[in-house]
Amino acid sequence: MSQTIDVRQDATTTATPRLLHVEASPRGQRSASLQVAHAFLDAWKARHPSGSIDVLNVWTTELPAFDGDAIDAKYAGLEGRDRSAAQVTAWQEISTLADRFHKADIVLLSVPMWNFGIPYRLKHLIDAISQKDVLFTFDERGLNGMLGGRRAVVVDSRGVGLGPDFPREELDYQQRYMTAWLRMIGITDITHIEVEKTLMGAELDHAARAEACAQAAQLGATL
């Protein structure tokens, strides 16, 4: 099932479009979320032959620990204090990683459901880079995301089907979390492509992947 949330008309456009693909599955070619994401990418690349694609694999990328100097750097910034040399270095690592999101016109995320939530390495990435003056600001108006005008496509794969046995409103900490985070950093043009029942037998798995790949290819050919 493909779901578009709060579609806007002011998405960023550039002569050479830039796409960031965040890979959150460690399963490689066996991954349903990656298979569907690649169907989107193939169609998008055909539409934008000169477009650039940056792949951020959370399992192979060194993610900065958010403790020690990094968390001290955060509070130094919040409190208006000068940062130490070590804190400056830690904050630069976080900012450099977040800058890959700033450079993208489209953010594609392939996200498997783990225990009704998201993989811990993706959560690590999100917690590290979701910082004031990095991906959002706040003032008297409240929280203000810094990535407005961009589009996000999220491939949500899960072994079960959300529904009567697994109520979405009670157990979905995957799609709802990703939507909340993207909105927090300013992205409101969000499309979800769902791949369900991948652990319910080969026939259902194959059918779900084929349907989602068709949806992803159709979307990729239009963005």
Mean pLDDT in each 10-residue stretch from start to end of the chain (223 residues)? 44 74 96 98 97 98 96 96 97 98 98 97 98 94 94 97 90 96 98 96 97 98 97
pLDDT score of 15: 75
What are the Cα distances from residue 115, in Å, to 66, 119, 165, 204, 213?
23, 9, 15, 20, 24
CATH-assigned architecture of domain 2-220: 3-Layer(aba) Sandwich (3.40)
pLDDT score of 14: 52
Domain parsing of the chain, residue ranges: 2-220
pTM over 0.95: no
Q: Give SS3 for 74.
A: helix
pLDDT score of 56: 98
Residue 164, amino acid: P
Q: In terms of Cα–Cα distance, which of 162, 194, 197, 164 is closest to 5?
A: 194
Long-range Cβ contacts of 126-133 (<8 Å, 24+ apart): 126/181, 127/66, 128/63, 128/64, 128/65, 128/66, 128/70, 128/94, 128/97, 129/94, 129/97, 129/98, 129/101, 130/181, 130/184, 130/185, 131/74, 131/94, 131/98, 132/74, 132/77, 132/78, 133/77
